[in-house]
Each structure stands twice: as C-alpha cells, then as structure tokens.
Amino acid sequence: MKKILITGGAGFIGSHVIRLFVDKYPDYHIYNLDKLTYAGNLENLKDVEEKPNYTFIKGDIIDDNFTQKLFEKYLFDGVIHLAAESHVDRSITNPMEFIMTNIVGTVNLLNAARNIWKNNFGDKRFYHVSTDEVYGSLGETGYFFEDTPYDPHSPYSASKASSDHLVRAYHDTYNLPVIISNCSNNYGPNQFPEKLIPLFINNIRHNKPLPVYGKGENVRDWLYVVDHARAIDVIYHSDKTGETYNIGGHNEWKNIDLIKVLCRVMDKKLGRDKGTSEKLITYVTDRAGHDLRYAIDSSKLQKKLGWKPSLQFEEGIEKTVDWYLANQEWLDNVTSGNYQKYYEDMYGRR
C-alpha cells in the first residue's frame, strides 16, 4: 500500500484533494498533516474521517524535529504539499507567519523527504502546490506560461515564489523528484469566508456591505476547486519529475462583473427582489500592491496530460452558492470561532 502524505488537507483545496485520493485510490493510505490554523477545519472531511485508508495527523510543518520524526515513522512514498498561509490581505498585516510556514515549512518537508528517500527515488514524488501569483501582474493582454519570469508583489506571493525556487533547487542539487503546479484563483465549497466569493456570499446573507477594493477592475481567472483537485491527481501521477504545470480555467472575470453575477444569483436563491444585493456594493481603499490581472495558459497540462476543466463558470457559481446556502451552519461556525475553541479543547494548545 502506497503511503501518501498530503499537507494542509483540512483547508479549502486540501480537503477536496484528500476526498478525491481517499475515494479513488483505496490502495493508497492517505495521511493528512495539518496544523488546524483558523483556515483548517476537520468539518470539511466529515465524510472521509472513518475511511480505512485515511489518517489525520495534527502537526506544524514549521517544527523540523516533528517533521523529521514523522517521515521516519511513516516512510511516505509521496508528498502532496498544500499547507500554507494563503490569504494575501493577512500577509500584508503579518508577513512573518507566511515566511515561516510557506518557506521554512516547505524546506523542512524537503529535508525530511530527502532524508528518508536517500538517493533511492524510484517512483517517489514531492509535489509542491503553488499559485499563479508568483508570476506577478499582467496588463490588459497576455498570459502566464510555465517559463514566465517570477515577479511576486505581496508577502504571500513572494513567500510562495521563494518556496517554488527552493523546491526546484532541491531537484537540481539533490535530484529530489519534485513536481510543481501553479494554479489560478479557486472557488467552491469549503473556502474560508475571508476570500472574495465566500466572504461576499456571507455578507449578502447578512445584508452587510460588500467591500470592493479600488474600482473593482482587477481581473482574476477562476477555477472550480474540484477541477484543481483533478489536475493535482493527473499531475501527481504523470511520468516525468522536475516539471512545472500551470492550471487555470480560461475564465477571466473583472471583480466587479463577477460580484454582480454573484449578487444576481444570490437574489434569485434567496428570493429577494432583483438588484437588492447589488445595493450592498461599497468601494473601499485598494489593497496595497494589488495585482491588476492574472490569466493562466494551461495548454501544457491540457496537451501533455489531457486535463481540462469540467465545469462552466455559470454552473460552478450556482453550485457554490447552493453549497454555502445549504451549509449555513458551517459558515456560522467558522465565522464564530467555535470550531477553533473545539480544537483547543480536543487537541490542546501547542
């Protein structure tokens, strides 16, 4: 039985990756290593927690001693590394947590993998999940390709860029069998309501203002989270290491246009008059260093590995709104902090 370590599996994307791997690969044992920060929530994995090929481990990748011992104990065959501090606004307020988890934490995992695998790499894999934000900002036209030079602007994207460089350095220096992917903005169920789409769904629900940064003209390329998980599956199982793949939905939206679509869908689902939610739009001071536009060219992934997004945006956004409205308790719980208290009681403070 192959032992796969997935880090950050209690978070938004990680929980979808865990579910896909646990269900699809009964001959893999999936270990979910997560610190359970404010963004990590085991409620996201209720349906897999009893599966025989799944184990949750609470732990912090910043702790090199812990990480080392964990790898020595379980002798993982592969790693899919998603654990990170992931919110740009938080990185502006508190960069150091991003440096520690995203850079130091990644190096600890690389060292631990190198230590147990020695030079017997066989079909071992260290898959690092990264972001399109490392490429910086585009103007009105053009796309990010795998060889677009790095140009990060926020502490978050700079920390992810740094971790990508370190992962590649371990490949070039020690032959560690690494793979990297850089994905565009994800949306869908289980995203913490600090990111644009779930934050605005929650605010509309409570008739609270919708804070649009600047003029709302920034452009993001949105991908349904399950399609990202499917891409991670395909890439993890690809033949060649040392490769990078861009993942994106070819689905660009100006923030303000996306917000108006979301408002319309919410009015419809909540049975409110047309235009009710749009009245909540409030323009606020722009994010510092706000990247204008991201757009991914994912043709390498599509041509070489045959992946393509399964959902159109209109369908994805309806599914997403439906999920949050059907799971209002989840939203209330993660915004009230009750679940953090629960973890403290269950696992104690570390």
Selection from ligand NAD, ligand DAU, none that 124 binds (CB < 5 to 8 A by kind) is none
241 HSE (CA, 13 A, CB side): 19
Selection from ligand NAD, ligand DAU, none that 227 binds (CB < 5 to 8 A by kind) is none
In this chain, which of 195, 228, 230, 293 binds ligand DAU, going by CB under 6 A? 195
Interface region with ligand NAD, contact rule CB under 6 A, candidates 47-55, 112-120, 181-189, 322-330:
181-189
162 CB contacts (<8 Å, ≥6 apart)?
A: 102, 103
For residue 88, state whether it binds ligand DAU (rule: CB under 6 A): yes
In this chain, which of 82, 210, 262, 263 binds ligand NAD, going by CB under 6 A? 82
In this chain, which of 62, 92, 199, 256 binds ligand NAD, going by CB under 6 A? 62
> For residues 223 and 250, what is the distance between their CA atoms, to the nearest angstrom?
8
The one catalytic residue in 34, 132, 227, 252 is 132
In this chain, which of 21, 71, 294, 343 binds ligand DAU, going by CB under 6 A? 294
- Looking at beta carbons only, is 115 or 207 nearer to ligand DAU? 207
- Site map 166..185 versus ligand DAU, x via CB under 6 A: ------------------xx
For residue 133, state whether it binds ligand DAU (rule: CB under 6 A): yes
For residue 164, state whether it binds ligand DAU (rule: CB under 6 A): no
- Whether 132 is catalytic: yes
For residue 6, state whether it binds ligand NAD (rule: CB under 6 A): no
Residue 192: CB minimum distance to ligand DAU, A? 9
- In sequence order, the β-bridge partners of residue 29 are 3
Burial 58-97 (b: 16+ CB within 10 A, else e): bbbbbbeebbbebbeebebbbbbbbbbbbbbebbeeebeb
The one catalytic residue in 34, 85, 133, 146 is 133
* Residue 219 CB coordination number (10 Å): 18
> For residues 228 and 231, what is the distance between their CA atoms, to the nearest angstrom?
5
- Looking at beta carbons only, is 53 or 190 nearer to ligand NAD? 190
Selection from ligand DAU, ligand NAD, none that 218 binds (CB < 5 to 8 A by kind) is ligand DAU
The one catalytic residue in 127, 135, 143, 156 is 156
- Whether 252 is catalytic: no
Catalytic residue ranges: 132-133, 156
Binding site for ligand NAD (CB under 6 A): 7-8, 10-14, 34-37, 39-40, 60-62, 82-86, 101, 105, 129, 131, 160, 183, 185-186, 192
